[in-house]
Amino acid sequence: MVSAEPPDSSGGGRGVDQGGDPTVRRIVLGAQLRRLREAAEISRPDAGYAIRGSASKISRLELGRVGFKERDVADLLTMYGVADPAEREAFLDLVKRSNEPGWWQRYTDLMPDWFQDYVGLEESAERVYTHELQFIPGLMQTEDYARAIASGYGLESASDAERRVALRMRRQKLLARPDAPRFWALIDESVLHRPVGGRNVMLAQLDHLCELTRLPHITLQVVPYRRSGYTAEVSFTMLRFAEPDLPDIVYIEHLSGALYLDKRAEVELYSRIADRLMVDAETPDQTRELLTKLRTEL
């Protein structure tokens, strides 16, 4: 992630991050505008009035939940006392970059808004930790395994199911990048015994998991039956970022939406759960042995 020069210790300068994907740029821009507003001792209602909006609009902008308009940001910068032309240009350039479409835009008809945000955050994460109770994590699925899931519900056309598989395969390029995040997956043992797609699909999926565990930035642990079901009742993913303006995020998905938890107490709770799961789970070496054993038994 590439950043402009950070503020100096005297407070005479302000940095504007230029890196990340559009979702991350939007969150970073919002956080920096919030700091400027608070430093200028301006309330959200007053800031909203300056851009022909409301306090709730300013709140959504500062949380990065909506897109930015250059005119609104220019007016806010003036109100917040940012007069330096170079600094203003840096902010306005970030506005343009935050509105650029991500690669996943071609799949937006298949993706609800709450999942589009997740894909954008996943793209910029430094660490990804996932705990899965039902399926192999999406970033570790083979194409046939993903296809069996996509077509299994029977809720969409065959062409849409194939596009959904293509979307999942495209997401997996994240783990093949030179700057790939550290990926740590814990899966319940029951996942490995669920015959998604049939015997041949599961054989190939087990082989794929073994191959992935040979990569230095990927760790896989299986939580055995005897220790599962006690520590965590739901699947969840934790994202950690190098960008200081982005807090750690816990993502919990359900049938009609998702939760994004970023309050410190919430994140610390899930961090403790993750630590406990790592202790309860088979070690990475034991997990590879288990995968090999299961393959011979299929």
Average pLDDT of span 66-71: 92
What pLDDT digit, counting tens, does each position of 35-44 carry?
Answer: 999 999 999 9
Kindly state the tokens that stand for 49: 């009035």
What is the structure's pLDDT at 285? 96
Q: Among 98, 132, 148, give the residue marking a domain's end.
A: 98
Lowest mean pLDDT among 23-27, 46-50, 142-146: 23-27
* Class of residue 120 by CB neighbours under 10 A (exposed 0-12, middle 13-18, buried 19+): buried
What pLDDT digit, counting tens, does each position of 44-61 carry?
Answer: 999 999 999 999 999 999
Q: Among 98, 123, 142, give the residue marking a domain's end.
A: 98
92 and 110 share one domain: no
137 and 246 share one domain: yes
Residue 56 and residue 10 in contact, taking contact as beta carbons nearer than 8 Å? no
66 and 165 share one domain: no
What is the structure's pLDDT at 124? 86
Q: Among 38, 68, 98, give the residue marking a domain's end.
A: 98
What is the structure's pLDDT at 20? 59
229 and 122 share one domain: yes
Could you tell me if residue 10 is inside a domain? no
Could you tell me if residue 1 is inside a domain? no
What pLDDT digit, counting tens, does each position of 231-285 carry?
Answer: 778 999 999 998 887 889 999 998 888 999 988 999 999 999 999 999 999 999 9
What is the structure's pLDDT at 28? 87
38 and 179 share one domain: no
Q: How many residues does the chain have?
A: 298
What pLDDT digit, counting tens, does each position of 150-160 carry?
Answer: 887 666 788 99
What is the structure's pLDDT at 154? 65
DSSP structure class, residue 283 = P
What pLDDT digit, counting tens, does each position of 192-225 carry?
Answer: 999 999 999 999 999 999 999 999 999 999 999 8
78 and 109 share one domain: no
What pLDDT digit, counting tens, does each position of 71-115 carry?
Answer: 999 999 999 999 999 999 999 999 998 888 888 888 888 888 888
Could you tell me if residue 15 is inside a domain? no
DSSP structure class, residue 172 = G
pLDDT band, residue 172 (cuts 50/70/90): very high
129 and 272 share one domain: yes
260 and 228 share one domain: yes
CATH code of the domain covering residue 75: 1.10.260.40
What is the structure's pLDDT at 197? 94
What is the structure's pLDDT at 13? 38
277 and 144 share one domain: yes
Measure the CA–CA gap between 138 and 128, rounded to whole angstroms.
Answer: 12
Helix, strand, coil shares of the chain, percent, nearest 5, are 55, 10, 35
189 and 276 share one domain: yes
- Say how many domains are in the chain: 2
Measure the CA–CA gap between 91 and 29, rounded to whole angstroms.
Answer: 8
Average pLDDT of span 63-73: 90
Instruction: Give first-to-last CA distance, the chain, whole Å.
Output: 44
Check whether 149 has a pLDDT greater than 90.
Answer: yes
Check whether 15 has a pLDDT greater than 50.
Answer: no
Measure the CA–CA gap between 56 and 48, rounded to whole angstroms.
Answer: 8
Residue 204 and residue 142 in contact, taking contact as beta carbons nearer than 8 Å? yes
Give, in degrees to the nearest 5, the angle at Cα 179 between 176 and 181.
80
82 and 109 share one domain: no
Check whether 12 has a pLDDT greater than 60.
Answer: no
Helical H segments across 13-112, by residue range: 22-39, 44-50, 55-62, 70-79, 85-98
Q: 35 lies in which domain range?
A: 22-98
Could you tell me if residue 137 is inside a domain? yes
